[in-house]
Amino acid sequence: MKIMYRVLVCCLLWLSMSCENAPSGPVQDSRQNDYALFDAKGGFHRFSRYNDQKAIVLWIQGNGCPIVRNAMSDFKQLVADYASEPFVFFMLNSQLQDDRHEVKEETQAYDFPVPVLMDDAQLLAEALDITLTSELIILHPTTRNVLFRGPINNRLDYEAQRPPTETYAREALDAILNDTPLPESTAMAKGCTVSRRSQMREETFTYTDDIAPLLTNHCVRCHKDDGLAPWSMTDYQTIKGWSATIKQVLLSKRMPPWKADPHIGAFENNFSLADSSAYTLYRWIETGMERGAGSDPLAELPQKTEKWPLGVPDTIITLQPEKIPATGIIPYRYQTFSLGLTKDTWLQGVGIQPGSTKAVHHIVLTNKETNKKSRVVNRPARPWTDNYIALGGGIDQNTSFPEGTGVFLKKGTQLTIQIHYTPTGKVEEDVTQLGFYYYETPPEKEFYALSPSNTNFTIPPYGEKVALQVADTLTETIDIHYLVPHMHYRGSSIKMSVVTPSGQQNTLISVPDYNFNWQYLYKLKQPVRVEKGSVILVEGTYDNSWQNPLNPDPSQELHFGIQSTDEMLIGFLNYTLVDEHKKTPIE
């Protein structure tokens, strides 16, 4: 009895300690002024991810600035002394003349202790009125308001230095740490002047000349009546009314939702916003939103998407109706259907027409009966992932295979479709249609799928920065055309690379701000040739903590599974064989 009592006490004690150690919940955060930037090494940082800290500390950096280089020892010491405290430190570069590669070289030469955030569009420079390098700015972790700005200490002046007698930054950090009022300081930072676009010339941005064309090219594809977005960009007055929201999603890089690193890979379907365009839109909002002369360009655009952008299909399949609840996490839905093929056929492309465009998150179309063994790796083919035909997600609902390539379908083929729905706040009914386009004569090459997949892993409860990877070694030389990095809700970053037989690693795509809600078929402008013996490497990082706003339940231990509340690490890709001969005509 005593033994049972002791065991019970130990169990209760363990449970009590576990409950105490488990994080209590997400930090309350409005996500306003939620600044987000790439760093010089290709990482991505959204400031609300650090709202569990006491403060966010920025030190303004500029290549070649002698005061920055001289003060680097002071900054390094500051970072080291507060390493165990709840602060996150960054350097910030808003210089027009410095690019990512140059800053990376400076980082290595001077051994920077923390990431350098690249403010290429100068949105942070505008929002925080940054004018000098070597200035230290401390932000509140949830409001991102400025708590302190000034020099680290008083050691440096222009062309002069002396032993420090004031430690402004330390006093401010200690006050924040101890929840005491911050000391008042009028000390001015000394540094190199940051040249700002807004101060170089008079800006006369107008809606008709500058903003409407920009929105047409990058935003209206979703922001129309039958688009994915919840509101439509129909005219000047609508844009003006939504301008405060537009400003916030620009600062947080939530929109446009092109998630791939713009410095890696070139993609024909890239709809990301260039830094110059982001600056133009931001400054137009900040300077009064002048309309300009002429008619309203957005009012003249059609608000309905063309039903079959690839042309009238050879075959149209209408799926069975699916009822979608107003709220909750919805398991995948599956349907299998016949194309009614009376002979072997070559597929040229697929069009997907969701009945409820706002509820359909993504669609996977596959032929589970083909390619039981992969053509290019020494393992059995996975029915779903290695034999997919088309992926529809976001705005990419139509797939036309590269010229001279096609997917082979045997007579009597049945296909299976997987549909993932997201609730819209009201009950919906979806009747999706699929359009199939066939070749009259066989293409020169078959268009294959390969998907390195990690199906054996564990992500612990509340795990942060959990790294996983998977690799496939090629037995043939291939040309890669399309890429789809794929994870679920806990995924935070993912990249796909090629490791050559000599050991050189070349990144094909990097998505450092992965978001399950925005997944695309990334179409390479030019196919990438990968030699036999090379490795396709997929690397993913997961955040199963409360700091991940998409996480439905951080207390869960996660494993591979097909539902979005499980996890995946998959690198979908489409390829052609370099040595494959032209197929014989279909009889």
Q: Are residues 128 and 171 in the same domain?
A: yes
Query: Which region among 34-38, 227-231, 541-545 has the lowest average model confidence (pLDDT)?
Result: 227-231
Element (H, E) at 374: none
Q: Is residue 395 part of a domain?
A: yes
Q: Is residue 406 part of a domain?
A: yes
Q: Is residue 166 part of a domain?
A: yes
Q: Are residues 111 and 217 in the same domain?
A: no
Q: Are residues 173 and 263 in the same domain?
A: no
Overall average pLDDT of the 201-223 stretch = 95
Given this model, what pLDDT does residue 586 score?
Answer: 39
Q: Is 60 helix (H, G, I), strand (E, B) or coil?
A: strand
Element (H, E) at 218: helix 212-218
Band of pLDDT at residue 587, cut at 50, 70 and 90: very low
Q: Are residues 215 and 181 in the same domain?
A: no
Does the CA dihedral 285-291-292-296 come out positive or negative? positive
Q: Is residue 68 part of a domain?
A: yes
Each as own residue / partner, the long-range contacts of residues 67-73 (CB below 8 Å, 24 or more positions apart, any chain) are 67/133, 67/134, 67/156, 67/158, 67/190, 67/191, 67/192, 68/133, 68/134, 68/191, 68/192, 69/110, 70/156, 70/161, 71/134, 71/152, 71/155, 71/156, 72/110, 72/112
Q: Are residues 65 and 191 in the same domain?
A: yes
| DSSP string computed for 164-204 | ----HHHHHHHHHHTT-PPPP--PPP--PBPP-GGGTS---
Most confident of 129-133, 220-224, 428-432: 129-133
Better-predicted residue by pLDDT, 345 or 519: 345
Residue 542: alpha-carbon gap to chain centroid: 13
- 570: which strand partners? 453, 486
Q: Are residues 296 and 405 in the same domain?
A: no
Comparing CA positions, the residue from 554, 516, 513 lying closest to residue 46 is: 513
pLDDT digits (tens, 9 = 90+) for 144-155: 999 999 999 999
Given this model, what pLDDT does residue 82 score?
Answer: 98
Q: Are residues 323 and 423 in the same domain?
A: yes
- Extract the runs of DSSP E, i.e. beta strands, from 182-293: none
Better-predicted residue by pLDDT, 18 or 282: 282
pLDDT at 21 over 80: no
Given this model, what pLDDT does residue 89 score?
Answer: 98
Overall average pLDDT of the 311-319 stretch = 96
Q: Are residues 103 and 136 in the same domain?
A: yes
Overall average pLDDT of the 352-367 stretch = 87
What CATH number did the domain enclosing 407 receive? 2.60.120.310
pLDDT at 3 over 50: no
Element (H, E) at 282: helix 275-286
Most confident of 10-24, 110-124, 217-231, 396-410: 110-124
What's the angle, vertex CA 509, arms to CA 507 and CA 515, rounded to 5? 140
- Of 412, 428, 445, the residue that ends a domain is 445
Of all residues in the chain, the percent with pLDDT exceeding 70 is 94
Polymer length of the chain: 587
Given this model, what pLDDT does residue 584 score?
Answer: 42
What CATH number did the domain enclosing 58 receive? 3.40.30.10
Given this model, what pLDDT does residue 18 score?
Answer: 41
Return the biggest CA–CA distance within the chain.
Answer: 90
Q: Are residues 42 and 180 in the same domain?
A: yes
pLDDT at 111 over 90: yes
Given this model, what pLDDT does residue 304 score?
Answer: 80
Amino acid at 578: V
Query: Which region among 7-16, 287-296, 494-503 has the lowest average model confidence (pLDDT)?
Result: 7-16
Expressed as residue numbers, the domain containing 567 is 450-577
Q: What count of Cα atoms within 13 Å lies in the side-chain half-sphere of residue 478?
A: 26
Given this model, what pLDDT does residue 23 score?
Answer: 66
pLDDT at 162 over 70: yes
Overall average pLDDT of the 101-119 stretch = 97
DSSP tag of 48:
G
Overall average pLDDT of the 183-189 stretch = 87
pTM: 0.91
Q: Are residues 231 and 282 in the same domain?
A: yes
Q: Are residues 280 and 350 in the same domain?
A: no
Number of domains in the chain: 4
Given this model, what pLDDT does residue 22 score?
Answer: 63
Given this model, what pLDDT does residue 330 score?
Answer: 87
Overall average pLDDT of the 349-355 stretch = 92
Average pLDDT, rounded, for the chain: 92
- Of 426, 445, 464, the residue that ends a domain is 445
Overall average pLDDT of the 412-423 stretch = 90
Q: Is residue 178 part of a domain?
A: yes
pLDDT digits (tens, 9 = 90+) for 451-478: 999 999 999 999 999 999 999 999 999 9
Q: Are residues 179 and 207 in the same domain?
A: no
Of all residues in the chain, the percent with pLDDT exceeding 90 is 79
* Backbone dihedral region for residue 24 (phi beyond 0: left; psi -120 to 50: alpha; all else: beta): alpha
pLDDT at 47 over 50: yes
What CATH number did the domain enclosing 537 receive? 2.60.120.230
Q: Is residue 15 part of a domain?
A: no
Structure tokens belonging to residue 405 = 């390539």
- Of 170, 197, 224, the residue that ends a domain is 197
Band of pLDDT at residue 394, cut at 50, 70 and 90: low
pLDDT at 8 over 70: no
Q: Is residue 19 part of a domain?
A: no
Q: Is residue 309 part of a domain?
A: no
Alpha-carbon Rg for the chain, nearest whole angstrom, is 27
